[in-house]
Structure 1
Amino acid sequence: MEKKFNTAIAGACLLLCLSAAHAATPAAAKPGPSDAQLKAVYTQEWKWRTSQKQEDGEDDDDSGISTSLPQIDAATQNKRLVYWQGVMKKLDGIKESRLSAPERINYQVYKSQIAAFIAAQQFKEYEKPLNADTAFWSNMTYTARRPMSKEKEYRAYLKQLADTPRYFNDEIVNMRAGMARGFTPPKITLVGRDASITSVTDAKTPQDTVFYAPFKDMPASMPDALKEELRAQAAKVIATSVIPAHQSLLKFMREEYVPAAREELAAESLPDGKTYYQSKIVEFTTTSLTADQIHNIGLEEMAKIRTEMLDVMKQVKFQGDMPAFLRFLRTDPQFYAKTPEELLMRSAWVAKKFDGKVSKYFGYLPRRRFAIIPVPDDQAPFYTSGRGGPGVYLVNTYNLPSRALYSMPALTLHESAPGHAFQMPIAMEQKGRPPFRNAYISAYGEGWALYTERLGAEMGMYETPYETFGMLSYQAWRASRLVVDTGIHSKGWTRKQAQDYLSENTALSTHEIETEVDRYISWPGQALSYYLGEMSILKARKKAEQALGQKFDIRNFHDTVLQLGSVPLPVLEARIDQFIAEGGKSPYPDLE
């Protein structure tokens, strides 16, 4: 029954992706009863969803601090599955052809979102709440690092901290259920990952933990007596709730979970594994492609990129083959920062350089700025090289000999502007859009960010052939993910095979290769979204350039893509078809 149901869900997603090619056409119906029917469904579900205290990261809207941690027990999860199944039945009863153009897009985005929720619940993904670089306990620290300015925020945060024992216990119960059926991350990806737990358990005082951070620099306008009261309460709740919960978690991880974790790497080795992996492909790529098709696409694209890389080697007159050039790039001191500050400043320089070029490539600019900060010490050893989002660009300054300066322009474009810290705020600033549209669709978001790395060459962001090679290495890194992810999860590849493939085809450091491969092993399918998303955007742009000729305006194209926000790739492609039909005009009439 489970396999049959999930195959049906995956099939529904695939049909949705394919039918989305007809989305957002000028011939769509005018607002009518079907629009009202759909709005009623997603409005009611969203109100219910926001009351559910679900996992962090779903609805990143900066709307205050919760007084409790997520509700994740099995009974609650089962209720969610039943609820979303009911929502899907309602959506199946709405005729897409009768929806207006805006609501047709909403329907397609929303239906794929609900289908992904159902699949995740059906496969009980909540029983595996961690991967190689993130986990439920490290996600907790995000609130601790948020700025607080009001008494109610501090008091809500204190209540949240007091909920830690209940939350951790529920997670442990879920993880034990996953252990019992072999649904865990591979053991190799868990080695050393308890460092973010011991950073709390080994703290000498509550004030030395990350959870006390908001109380160290409190608003000057707040009365001193109130500050001292809140600080005392924080020290107490950390000592009596937070630290003991982490101690229990550490004992569980070391004595039960890691020893029982599976040895196999492939997602297809999990319960109902082939169907599970295909569901992740659908979720992360929004396409109907199979693992074999994606693997072959990766091999073809890698060959193209390697040709470009060889051209750069000729430009710099390097005497030697590709392996020798990669060794040179990985080891020559000229390519590496001497201090964390140097790496941060180089990132800031690239971001500022983009500011001087932005008006030639974008009409609409987001109001929200972003900060450049280092990845926290407790997460850095196993974290990616960088990560960006609304208001922040995280730069990993751990192990400087693994952070090549020639890669910083591409990384910065991807994670800050015009990548994630640029794209996400624009989507959130759009008016009249239902809040579920702020959910992140990896194929779109990561595809856009990778596209901006290529765009950097057009913008003149790469000042040396080595920086161009850094961009190409990053392109190869993402194309190789198509090969490596499917190799690991569908073709029986070993960890070493995956590491060797990245080592032979990119300039990534050994440290980065190890952390990245472990991430792909523990997070099936996510790595597929980047390059397939970029390919979709490049295909749409080429089509628009050929169709519009001299009428093509790169600013209007970019504004159209970004205004749409995260959508399945077929919806994006259909929107560009509409852009072409309308003569390539800006989606913001006031900017023309």
Structure 2
Amino acid sequence: MMQTKLGAALCVAGLIAASGATAAGAAAPTTPAAKAARTAPAAATAADRRFAAIHQAEWRWRVEQRLANDDKSPRRVRPELPRVDAATQALRLAYWQDVLRRLDDVKPAALSAPERINYQVYRAQIAAFVEELRFREFEAPVNADSAFWTDVTYGARQPFAAVEDYRNYLKQLASLPRHFDEQAANMRAGLARGFTPPKVTLKGRDAALASVAGAKPEDTVFYTPFKTMPASIPAAEQEALRAQALAAIREGVQPAYARVLKLMREEYMPRARDTLAAASLPDGQAYYQSKILEYTTISMSADEIHRIGLAEMAKIRAEMAVTIAQTGFKGDLPAFLNFLRTDPRFYAKTPEELLMRAAWTAKKFDAKASQYFGYLPRQRFAIRPVPDDQAPYYTAGRGGPGVYLVNTYNLPARALYSLPALTLHESAPGHAFQMPVALEQKGVPPFRRAYISAFGEGWALYTERLGVEMDIYETPYEVFGMLSYQAWRASRLVVDTGVHAKGWTREQAQAYLRENTALSSHEVETEVDRYISWPGQALSYYLGQMAIMEARAKAEKALGAKFDIRHFHDTVLQLGSVPLPVLASRIDRFIAEGGPSPYPKEG
């Protein structure tokens, strides 16, 4: 879909809930923020109390809307999919606009220091919700990367622990036809006003619908949790639950998929817009600017970002030249890229080989972790292949709490020299590390669990560079793989703004990636389609990394010998996920305090 901040937050929240990766039960550290939160009743200002009343009431409403889990009584599996019809969305817009008005009556300067951070995070979050609904993004719930019919399968891929999980899941399946009908109505409304992804990016995106609509109920992804059930559930009850699941899939889920499949093939895909740019959408220039702010959390124009991208690409190209010389290769960059794309030594022969190489890099990080991080999250992560029904159009990998997904589809497109950088980004110390650290913080309000792309993706990209310091890369080819990934993200600044603000064609965007990165042709095509149908999201990575690197350079210069890389990393990650200006302010305070660990010494 045109993945919204709300949609992304819901998706991440669903993965967290399904994996059991909540802060409950974790031996989370006692942080300064936690101390402040515990003493808040005595030390809270009047502004603190006013702000707390606003966000606590809004969060209760959000839970009632099925947009979030109740932290006081978290459900691993939600018993109902949220309502997404136009009338409900209009009510949500009015509600969040009112919240925003009340927030603007709170003076940030009157808040205590911890609440000032909370306020900045929360206001940006609510403002993004308002903008998404104001532009009616819900009318385009599909894009080249994901769609509502794939989003709803995430829960089915997670293990269930208790009989209540299965009962809630059956209720969720019962709500799916209603949810899909509402999404279909939204798609038709978007189609009527020209608010769709570009037609060219939708090719083949009906395959996941067909895989469910035409299969046996027991062969669909929705039956997966019932294939292996906990022994604690009596055999007779297991059989009853399985029978209910098969009936729900056959009578409700599959007909819903079939209806949307018909819509996609007969109406939506043929009539989707031919233009590419977000600027060509209704009120498109303002819309694209809103996505820039949402995904980067800073106010910049498309022209500014484009210029930064070109400048950064020039720097990376210089680094590439040095690394190519270290390999001993005789030839220019295009010849070297062709060599990398065609030499079989750089590609796994089997999916298992690719997975094992990813696991090897992850374990190499473990050996170095304590030298770069003072606090290590309790939660571990699994390494799994991307599900077959998603793999053809999925990215090379994706990570989060408890899992690192590696795409084993089309092995000649999955370069081994890029795998170490990918693994650092998606597993540890990237997403599968950063997110659990955030979840294990105590004393923060539940809205702080949301994912902010500029911070999360910026951190993950920063860890790819960190791999050089950690000696993760063993050959110049692997270093070049890291540089290619850096160029890939820097080129997004050029390509995203080029397509959405400067009139670039799909072919121009693909050519830019091919000429400046070692990405395979398959990856170039899927990535460009992702940027075309998901305006602004691609900008978050490199701008986020730049903010973290600038903050680190500032701290190193100011603190000199007192700078401790573990304290810096812990301070960044302890924040959770925040807008980039909040990160900059926190590092200024880190410097002013002398660069201490954010966690108290034990004993």
Asked whether 1:510 is paired with 2:525, we answer no
Change in CA separation of 1:463 and 1:58 when aligned onto 2, cut-off 3 Å: farther
State how far apart, in whole Å, the 1-side matches of 2:327 and 2:442 are.
49
Counterpart of 2:10 in structure 1 is: none
* CA drift at 1:201: 1.6
Asked whether 1:169 is paired with 2:169, we answer no
Counterpart of 1:450 in structure 2 is: 461
1:115-136 CA-partner distances (Å, limit 9, x unpaired): 0000001000010111102100
1:166-197 CA-partner distances (Å, limit 9, x unpaired): 11110011111111110000001100011111
- The alignment's TM-score, normalised by the length of structure 1, stands at 0.93
State how far apart, in whole Å, the 2-side matches of 1:483 and 1:498 are.
9
Asked whether 1:85 is paired with 2:100, we answer no
1:19-72 CA-partner distances (Å, limit 9, x unpaired): xxxxx9xxxx96311111111110110110111123x9999x974211111210
1:337-348 alignment to 2 at 5 Å?
Answer: 337-348=348-359
Secondary structure of the equivalent of 1:483? helix
State how far apart, in whole Å, the 1-side matches of 2:75 and 2:374 are.
28
Counterpart of 1:545 in structure 2 is: 556
Q: 2:109 aligns with which of 88, 97, 100?
A: 97
Counterpart of 1:43 in structure 2 is: 56
State how far apart, in whole Å, the 2-side matches of 1:157 and 1:520 are.
33
Q: 2:45 aligns with which of 23, 27, 32?
A: 32
Q: Which amino acid aligns with 2:356?
A: M
Asked whether 1:194 is paired with 2:206, we answer yes
1:238-387 alignment to 2 at 5 Å?
Answer: 238-387=249-398
Does the aligned pair in 1 maintain the 2:138–2:186 contact within 8 Å?
yes
State how far apart, in whole Å, the 1-side matches of 2:561 and 2:254 are.
64
Counterpart of 2:242 in structure 1 is: 231
How many residues are paired up?
562
Q: Which amino acid aligns with 1:182?
A: G
Secondary structure of the equivalent of 2:469? helix
State how far apart, in whole Å, the 2-side matches of 1:228 and 1:299 are.
60
Q: Which amino acid aligns with 1:473?
A: S
Structure 1 window deviating more from structure 2 (217-226 vs 97-106): it is 217-226
* CA drift at 1:531: 0.2
State how far apart, in whole Å, the 2-side matches of 1:486 and 1:532 are.
13
State how far apart, in whole Å, the 2-side matches of 1:221 and 1:50 are.
30
Q: 1:568 aligns with which of 565, 569, 579?
A: 579
Q: Which amino acid aligns with 1:347?
A: A
Secondary structure of the equivalent of 2:384? strand
State how far apart, in whole Å, the 2-side matches of 1:525 and 1:207 are.
39
Asked whether 1:486 is paired with 2:497, we answer yes
Can you give the 5+ residue segments of structure 2 that lack an aligned partner in the other structure?
Answer: 1-32, 34-39
Asked whether 1:64 is paired with 2:113, we answer no
State how far apart, in whole Å, the 1-side matches of 2:599 and 2:490 are.
34
Counterpart of 1:20 in structure 2 is: none
* CA drift at 1:448: 0.3
State how far apart, in whole Å, the 2-side matches of 1:240 and 1:82 are.
36
Q: 1:213 aligns with which of 209, 224, 227?
A: 224
Q: Which amino acid aligns with 1:45?
A: E
Does the aligned pair in 1 maintain the 2:431–2:460 contact within 8 Å?
yes
State how far apart, in whole Å, the 2-side matches of 1:589 and 1:38 are.
28
State how far apart, in whole Å, the 2-side matches of 1:222 and 1:53 are.
27
Change in CA separation of 1:329 and 1:58 when aligned onto 2, cut-off 3 Å: farther
Does the aligned pair in 2 maintain the 1:363–1:591 contact within 8 Å?
no
Counterpart of 2:412 in structure 1 is: 401
* CA drift at 1:221: 2.4
State how far apart, in whole Å, the 2-side matches of 1:470 and 1:585 are.
34
Does the aligned pair in 1 maintain the 2:63–2:69 contact within 8 Å?
no
Asked whether 1:144 is paired with 2:184, we answer no
Q: Which amino acid aligns with 2:543?
A: L
Secondary structure of the equivalent of 1:422? helix
1:390-539 alignment to 2 at 5 Å?
Answer: 390-539=401-550
Does the aligned pair in 1 maintain the 2:69–2:75 contact within 8 Å?
no
* CA drift at 1:220: 1.8
Counterpart of 2:17 in structure 1 is: none
Q: Which amino acid aligns with 1:254?
A: R
State how far apart, in whole Å, the 1-side matches of 2:575 and 2:601 are.
17
State how far apart, in whole Å, the 2-side matches of 1:433 and 1:217 are.
36
Runs of 4+ in 1 over 4 A off after TM superposition: 56-59
Q: Which amino acid aligns with 1:87?
A: V
Can you give the 5+ residue segments of structure 1 that lack an aligned partner in the other structure?
Answer: 1-23
Secondary structure of the equivalent of 1:589? coil
Q: Which amino acid aligns with 1:75?
A: A
Q: Which amino acid aligns with 1:188?
A: V
- The alignment's TM-score, normalised by the length of structure 2, stands at 0.92
Secondary structure of the equivalent of 1:372? strand
State how far apart, in whole Å, the 1-side matches of 2:212 and 2:367 are.
43
Q: Which amino acid aligns with 1:84?
A: W
State how far apart, in whole Å, the 2-side matches of 1:230 and 1:115 are.
42
State how far apart, in whole Å, the 2-side matches of 1:289 and 1:323 are.
33
State how far apart, in whole Å, the 1-side matches of 2:203 and 2:238 are.
40
Counterpart of 1:16 in structure 2 is: none
1:290-315 CA-partner distances (Å, limit 9, x unpaired): 00000000000000000000001111
Change in CA separation of 1:338 and 1:591 when aligned onto 2, cut-off 3 Å: farther
* CA drift at 1:499: 0.3
Does the aligned pair in 1 maintain the 2:85–2:183 contact within 8 Å?
yes
Secondary structure of the equivalent of 1:163? helix
Does the aligned pair in 2 maintain the 1:58–1:439 contact within 8 Å?
no
State how far apart, in whole Å, the 2-side matches of 1:174 and 1:410 are.
39
Counterpart of 1:180 in structure 2 is: 192
Does the aligned pair in 1 maintain the 2:63–2:70 contact within 8 Å?
no
State how far apart, in whole Å, the 1-side matches of 2:116 and 2:602 are.
26
* CA drift at 1:106: 0.4
Asked whether 1:588 is paired with 2:592, we answer no
1:523-576 CA-partner distances (Å, limit 9, x unpaired): 000000000000000000000000000000000000000001111101101100
Q: Which amino acid aligns with 1:406?
A: Y
Q: Which amino acid aligns with 1:496?
A: E
Change in CA separation of 1:285 and 1:57 when aligned onto 2, cut-off 3 Å: farther
Asked whether 1:115 is paired with 2:120, we answer no
Secondary structure of the equivalent of 1:462? coil
Does the aligned pair in 2 maintain the 1:267–1:276 contact within 8 Å?
yes
State how far apart, in whole Å, the 2-side matches of 1:416 and 1:590 are.
28
* CA drift at 1:155: 1.1
* CA drift at 1:591: 5.5
State how far apart, in whole Å, the 1-side matches of 2:235 and 2:407 are.
36
Q: Which amino acid aligns with 1:221?
A: S
1:381-436 CA-partner distances (Å, limit 9, x unpaired): 00000000011101000000000001111000000000000000111111100010
Identical pairs, percent: 69
Change in CA separation of 1:319 and 1:500 when aligned onto 2, cut-off 3 Å: same
State how far apart, in whole Å, the 2-side matches of 1:64 and 1:213 are.
16
Asked whether 1:132 is paired with 2:144, we answer yes
State how far apart, in whole Å, the 2-side matches of 1:545 and 1:62 are.
41
* CA drift at 1:164: 1.7
1:66-111 CA-partner distances (Å, limit 9, x unpaired): 1111210111000001101110111111111110100000000000
Secondary structure of the equivalent of 1:337? coil
